[in-house]
Amino acid sequence: MDRFQASIQDILDLVDVRLDGDRPWDMRVHQPDFFKRVLAQGTLGLGEAYMDGWWDCESLDVLADRVLGAGLEARVQPDLTLVLTEIEAKLWNLQTRRRAKVVARQHYDLGNEFFAWMLDSRMQYTCAYWKEATSLEEAQEAKLRLICEKIALAPGEHVLDLGCGWGGFARFAAERYGARVTAVNISKEQMAFAREHCGGLPVELLATDYRDVAGTFDKVVAIGLCEHVGPKNYRKLMETAHRGLRDGGLFLLHTIGSNRTELVTDPWIDRYIFPHSMLPSIARLGKAVEGLFVVEDWHNFGADYDRTLMAWHANLRPHRGAIFDRFGERFLRMWDFYLLVCAGSFRCRRNQLWQVVLSKGGVRGGYTSVR
């Protein structure tokens, strides 16, 4: 065992993970340069090495739970690239209108068929609500119903859906609650799907940036958008919702949240999954909301994201051959790493899922929480 391997094993010993062990959470290393790569590049090197087939793990989600729960990644020093990215984040806005289109092209425009393999029938790509559900389909419908109930959506009301994804919420709100919906998104593939599946309903779909929305609405939702706007734009997101919301209206923000205020996201996630993304912290959201809204309710069901991610990964299993043929083995391993490591991060409560209900001026008599 050379000194690089010994260093990695010393770190893994803290969480009872063995190199080339026989337990499901142990790491099987196939390339001797793996240890030097991880020590030099941190989580970026770890993820890229997995994509390249340099190592494997039978239960990657369990390994991630152990490693992230103990904060072991902090024991590997970041490389120069990460340091420079942190400096850039301090100086510039990493989520300008031009840069915001990068994640749409790289991630969301992979093709609707691929996401249809992974997601439920409504193409919900945010955390499901598993309180009483026994399947992904039930849990995603429960999430949509929860949102509509939290904003007290009534027939005939006009809802602004910032981000909108594949239009699942817009269709649900129109069909089940008789609402009129204006939805905005910059992903061509998602908007094409939404237009087809919301046809004939009172749903207006606008291919525009959330910052450019005009009009007044009874309710506003942002489901899975905040993670992409970047910390320099949190206030702009809140101002957009505030400007468009009528007096007495409610705004629901559904977002992954971080336990800590960070300058940059994980470098592997930034490069391969969600470019220029950033998970908001309570401190940053609080600052962005200050002077605009009253916080009526803050609901954390982050543990449900573990089950959601594992369901997505299970849904892809029957399609692995087709994914391999279309995108290649490296892409397939990239998605395994992404979904399973993220599941582990929610399992150890490293990341959270928040639904925050905000009002203009406060709900007279008090807001009744919905769970």
Report the catalytic residues.
342
The residue whose two tokens read 């043929």 is 325
On the CB side of 195, how many CA atoms lie within 13 Å of its CA? 11
CA-to-CA dists, residue 366 to 152, 290, 292, 297, 322, angstroms: 13, 19, 18, 10, 52
How do beta strands 245-258 and 294-300 pair? Answer: unpaired
351: left (phi over 0), alpha (psi -120 to 50) or beta: beta
**Other beta carbons less than 10 A from residue 279's beta carbon:** 22
Question: Cα separations (Å) of 2 from 6, 8, 9, 20?
Answer: 6, 10, 11, 15
